[in-house]
Amino acid sequence: MVFMTRPPLYYGQYLKLDRLLSLQVAESSKHGAPVHDEMLFIIVHQTYELWFKQVLHEFDRIEQDFSANPVDDEAMAHIVHSLARVHEILKLLVAQLDVLETMTPADFLDFRDYLFPASGFQSLQFRLIETRLGLPESARVPLDGEAVERRLSTADRQKLAAARKRPTIFALLDAWLERTPFLDWGGEQFRTAYRAAVVRHLSADVASIKADAELPAERREREASGIDKALEAFARIFEPDTNPDAWRLSPRSVQAALFITVYREMPAVQQPFRLLSLLMDIDETLTFWRYRHALMVERMIGRKIGTGGSSGHVYLRSTAERHRIFGDLFQLSTFLIPRSSLPELPADVKRRLGFVYAGP
């Protein structure tokens, strides 16, 4: 057999366990006062970095497949599979916080001072994940008044700068959505019919809110104003010149994403809908991880500064909301209407979106 033509491979040799398991060196031990829980702290954070490496490995394949024009069915299957794997990894990252929180604040204090000025803010791989997903540099929350990369070494800053020149998953999604043929299949008549149906539905919601005497006047005004703003955002999909900055995705891409979301049950768009859903899953789980991380830091150090001299949980909590990447996809739910109110798909569009298996 083929595997017998080469020397046998030993488990520990393959995984380089002698090196891997020698890398957990506690700073407290170097100072002659070993602290039991520092081992847990090191292993959890090293494990994070290993998972970050796998996420970036998945991004490499996604970038390669998503950069093709056109993106064929096999490539799309690879992209969706990799995104699903990334999402499962991110769920593990959240779960690891449960393990880390078996360490009490007092346990952490026993070795915390040995860590200055090292900090999780210096994780290059996490910054690469944010960048390659598509977090705009203009949206990054400054860390105590300065850019986050100022906390990185010169070599790591250069690697981050190189990553910024690569196409992001957000940009690749935008380009792919713009190329999808669904809108062209339906034609202008269909776009007009769908737009009118959404406007009717949302306008009816406004009228219903304003007529509800049970609601306090201030709440009626607030909710009606919110829907009016949604109507304005919806109009900008079709009239982008009125406010080109209303959406990060291009107007045509938003229309395509909305079409995929509305008609997600049609066979030809089930895989694209899975793609959009996974990107939202990743964004949501990253947000949850940031928020959980902020709560953990507050629990561990209270209002003290972080080991890197940062404002700690205050900064982390602000990134949970402001470092969202695929917010445009989340907004699409605003414009969903009941199936009974959807305009009928043209017959030729239905035919193209379906799979027909005819016998001989």
Residues listed for the chain? 360
Query: Average pLDDT in the 222-250 region?
Result: 82
> What are the backbone dihedrals phi and psi of residue 143, each rounded to the nearest 5 degrees, phi first?
-100, 105
* Residue 146 DSSP SS3: strand
CA dihedral 87, 178, 183, 274 (to 10 degrees): -10
Q: Angle between the 154-163 and 124-133 helix axes, to the nearest 10 degrees?
A: 20
Of 65-69, 71-75, 152-156, 341-345, the range with the lowest mean pLDDT is 341-345
The full set of domains in the chain, from first to last, is: 36-167+274-324 (1.20.58.480), 176-263+335-353 (no CATH)
> What pTM does this model have?
0.90
Over the stretch 9-53, which tens digit does the pLDDT of each residue have?
999 999 999 999 999 999 999 999 999 999 999 999 999 999 999
Proportion of the chain above pLDDT 90, given as a percent: 54
The Cα 229–Cα 169 span in angstroms is 28
The number of beta carbons lying within 10 Å of the beta carbon of residue 214 is: 6
Of the pLDDT bands very low, low, confident and very high (cuts 50, 70, 90), residue 274 is: very high
DSSP for residue 358: -
Residue 344: CA atoms inside 13 Å, Cβ hemisphere, count? Answer: 3
Q: Which helix (H) or strand (E) holds 62?
A: helix 38-66
- 216 forms bridges with which residues in the sheet? none
Over the stretch 137-178, which tens digit does the pLDDT of each residue have?
889 988 877 888 888 999 999 999 999 999 999 999 999 999
User: Can the peptide bond before residue 70 be classed as cis, meaning omega within 30 degrees of 0?
Assistant: yes
